[in-house]
Amino acid sequence: MTGVRRSVLLAVLAAVLSLGGIAGCKSVSIGAAPRPESSRACEALYAAERCAALLTAAAEQLGIRDSDVESIEIAPAPTLRTDGVLMKRSGGEPIVVLARVRGEIRKASLCAGIPSGPACRDTPIIGISSPVQSGYRDVPCQGEPPDGCATPLPAIEAAAARAARPLRIERVVIPIAKVGRAEVRLGEATLPNGILTVAEADLEDPWPDLVRFSGEELRLEVRSLVADRPAFWNYYDHGWWPGTEPVAVFLVFDARYVEPGATITIRDLVVG
């Protein structure tokens, strides 16, 4: 073997050894894409309150109890494309939560599209919804408008308006005793001609201590005390009633996590 060929062979062998290409050594792929960043503990990325909200939202999506989740981590964002293709998505990128459940990792994708719910806010809050905030005045139609659409109800009578009695509560503290769905009767009102005009309330603390709720939030439900009257989901469907219609008002919620002593405080409630 000539000196030149021997030198070339030794150089190649040295290069192979430096890359670990000999059998039994670690193989290295030259030019391979770097490994993606590993998942991170939620508290390394978000405030503790948001991590609690993410845990609840993930458990709810997975159909398990909050208490079944041992811990959560946040998966890394997808690697951006490097081939020059412009990628456009509607709405926000999802947050992928990796929930450890009885030692198994389960994945929940949250906050994609148009983000909603406490888990999708830097500072989570929860509110109180009501029928009048959820399409109560939408006009139902059997076909293409205006054909088959509901007609306006008669105006509220002056005598019915004078006789009606709204429910007003300035402030009330409600204990939360256990996990699960609950209904709290807040009181009664009478509506002029059965027309619900206002139903609203606020939480004194929009992210109360010691308790977490379903992403559906809390709801004011107004229920007629007249037998066989339609539910208060739509103004036209519920219809007109002679005189005043008595109703009961409930706060309905699904508590997913509760510690001893948990309470919520409702203020500025008006239903009428």
CA-CA-CA-CA torsion sign (16, 19, 25, 27): negative
Give mean pLDDT, residues 13-41: 42
Tokens of 241: 């009633």
Give mean pLDDT, residues 212-226: 95
Give me the percent of the chain exceeding a pLDDT of 70: 81
Instruction: pLDDT band for 8, please (50, 70, 90 cuts).
Output: very low
Say if CB 61 and CB 95 are below 8 A apart: no
Q: What's the whole-model pTM score?
A: 0.78
- Share the mean pLDDT of the chain: 84
pLDDT tens digits, residue range 77-130?
A: 765 666 656 555 555 679 999 999 999 999 999 998 887 899 999 999 999 999
CA distances from 3 to 6, 12, 14, 170, 222 (A): 5, 14, 16, 98, 97
Give pLDDT, residue 148: 78
Indicate if the pLDDT at residue 221 is higher than 90: yes
pLDDT tens digits, residue range 240-263?
A: 999 999 999 999 999 999 999 999
Indicate if the pLDDT at residue 36 is higher than 90: no
Bridge partners (DSSP) listed for residue 180: 255
In one-letter notation, the amino acid at residue 185 is R
Instruction: pLDDT band for 140, please (50, 70, 90 cuts).
Output: confident
Give pLDDT, residue 217: 87
Say if CB 225 and CB 248 are below 8 A apart: yes
Higher pLDDT, 16 or 190: 190
